[in-house]
Amino acid sequence: MEQKDKINNTFLALQLIDFSKNYKSGKVTDKLNISMIWDIVLNPHKYENKINKLLTNKVFSKIYFKILSQKGCIYQPKVIAASSEKVFKRSSEDFDMEIIESNKNHDVFYLIILLHKQFELPLSNLYVICNDMSLSKKLPKFENNRAQMIFNKNDEFFDLLTDYNSEIFIR
């Protein structure tokens, strides 16, 4: 390859990189790129107000779910058969999750997560996704493979968590 071909290829590569960073589509109002989607997966609390709007974009949601399912440490799919509208106990080979009503205050519920094995990466976020709606909460520190969180009965996260159509990711 001649020197002028190398220079042309370098300029072409730089132009394509610049084009990909500034690409806008008429169908999407926000700029979407892989680094942004990865940042949303890693820092869901930073994008809490935007994520449900972004999930309406089929390309974003497809990539978002693919990253979560392949890079997530724990995944719990939708419940196949539910005896009621609310699910208070879920089990998988990786963890058990149980929601228990408080004895003193019937508007307060405890979520108890029990891990069946150790994970190399620290688990920091609990993602609940249901019908193109996603919410996440920071997980407390696991002690003896067990963590506990408190939710209010009328909390939106509690409604999604107990919905039998919800998918749960812990990473």
Q: What is the pLDDT of residues 7-66, one digit of tens each?
A: 766 766 666 676 666 655 555 445 667 778 888 888 887 888 888 888 888 888 888 878
Chain segment 124-141, per-residue pLDDT in tens = 889 888 887 888 899 998
Structural tokens at position 8 = 């042309």
Between 5 and 1, the higher pLDDT residue: 5
Q: Do residues 151 and 112 make contact, with C-beta atoms less than 8 angstroms apart?
A: no
pTM of this prediction exceeds 0.75 = no
pLDDT at residue 72, as a whole number: 61
Structural tokens at position 73 = 């440490």
- The proportion of the chain whose per-residue pLDDT surpasses 90, expressed as a percent, equals 24
CA–CA dist 161, 135 (Å, integer): 9
pLDDT at residue 76, as a whole number: 75
Write the CA distances from 99 to 11, 36, 40, 43, 108, integer angstroms. Answer: 58, 33, 27, 25, 10
Beta strands in the chain (DSSP E): 74-76, 89-91, 95-101, 108-115, 125-130, 133-138, 146-152, 167-170
Where are the chain's structural domains? 3-170
Average pLDDT, the chain: 81
Task: Give the helix/strand (H/E) hosting 126.
Answer: strand 125-130
